Amino acid sequence: MVEPRVYDAMSKPIVGHLDPFFFEITQAVKTGLNTCFGTANEFTVAMSATGSGGMETAVANFVEPGSKFLVFASGYFCDRLIDMGKRQRATVIQIDKPWGETWTPEEMREAILREKPNTVAYVAAETSTGCWTDGKAICEAAHEVGALVIADCVTALGSMPIEFDKTGIDVAYSCSQKGLGCPPGLSPFTVSPRALEWLTKERKSQIPTWYFDIKLLAEYFGGAKRYHHTAPISMFYALHEGLTVIAEEGLENRFARHRLNRNAFVAGIEAMGMEMHVHRGHQLWNLMTPKLPEGISDMAVRKHLMDNYGIDIAGGFGQLTGKVFRIGIMGVLATKRDTLFLLEKFEEALRAQGFKAKDGAMAAAEAMYATSGS
């Protein structure tokens, strides 16, 4: 759901894409995004593209033809990184785990030290599985062998701590429509000084894309303000307002709100006899993946929710088709009222399809709120 104030911001008069006021907005957006990413990077922009455009930008700029590109793969968007790496004619090394699982720090370190890649990529918050991967061990090992690290933060930004600088990430991207509470269309993107130095001094081949060339984008968003493309002005208004909402709430308060509502929802799910696909220590705070009970149609459950209550949840896709639900509780919807309403109606939809839910789901969720003082 989009923050209501964001809709109002999008109705404001449009200025030109070289107007000084627009660059005031982009500067404020940069400041807000740096806070959400947890970085002091000089190069932080909102790409005029969706999250997949941010992914393409990262791979096109920091993965050279013939270089060794290592990807930790355990979900649909990890596979997309692999595909993009192959299209850049890199030598792609795939380190696999079953979808929804992650690696131990020792496994991460061993793979990187063994392969000695030029670039490493991982998906911090995998949208297809609901799994979080902590990248600190990846970054430490990658930097030991002189590699750059790309992190996909599409689902997490604005709902979970990224800690870009503390983790040691070199390049990260996200989207505007999930944790930031805005419409889709922009891709927050940030690059470390180390990665920028490599790009400007050590990259040997020409960047194979014009639109996603970071050096050209730096001339547009940076000091020169040289025309590059016609930016979607209203979308920048939207993102600026969404980041203002986050700043007013306070980032730590926002994180705590998402985590609490996740915990309450999961407590209710488990109390009714369902299992989560992802181990508790690696569950995202804003996207949950309960396993589909045996004999239950995910399409029927989703149709019941949509037809009766206008609630839209997603099914699994790729390897998890027909195996999980994907349920986002984020932004303006991450409240006690909305979480309890969703849990109640979700249980109703499951029972309507024959699932013998145990009693106590709502009580378990309420107990979670009570222990937090909420």
Q: Where does CATH 3.90.1150.10 sit in the chain?
A: 251-372
Q: Where does CATH 3.40.640.10 sit in the chain?
A: 4-248
Q: Which residues, 6+ apart, have CB-to-CB distance to 235 below 8 Å?
A: 10, 46, 48, 176, 182, 183, 185, 186
pLDDT at res. 46? 98
Evaluate whether 41 touches 222 at the Cβ level (below 8 Å): no
The H-or-E segment that residue 328 falls in is strand 325-328
Q: State the pTM of this model.
A: 0.96
% of residues, the chain, pLDDT over 70: 100
Q: Does the structure show a pLDDT above 90 at 75? A: yes
CATH 3.40.50.300 assigned to domain 4-248? The reply is: no
Distance between CA atoms of residues 268 and 359, nearest Å: 10
- Please write down the HEC assignment for all residues of 168-222: CCCEEECCCCCCCCCCCCCEEEEECHHHHHHHHHCCCCCCCCCCCCHHHHHHHHC
- Class of the domain covering 251-372: alpha beta
DSSP 8-state class, residue 358: P
pLDDT at res. 262? 97
pLDDT at res. 372? 82
Q: Does the structure show a pLDDT above 80 at 200? A: yes
Q: Which residues, 6+ apart, have CB-to-CB distance to 224 below 8 Å?
A: none
Q: Does the structure show a pLDDT above 80 at 374? A: no
Task: List Cα–Cα distances, 174 to 18, 147, 162, 217, in angstroms.
Answer: 25, 21, 11, 17
Distance between CA atoms of residues 273 and 55, nearest Å: 38
Evaluate whether 46 touches 176 at the Cβ level (below 8 Å): yes
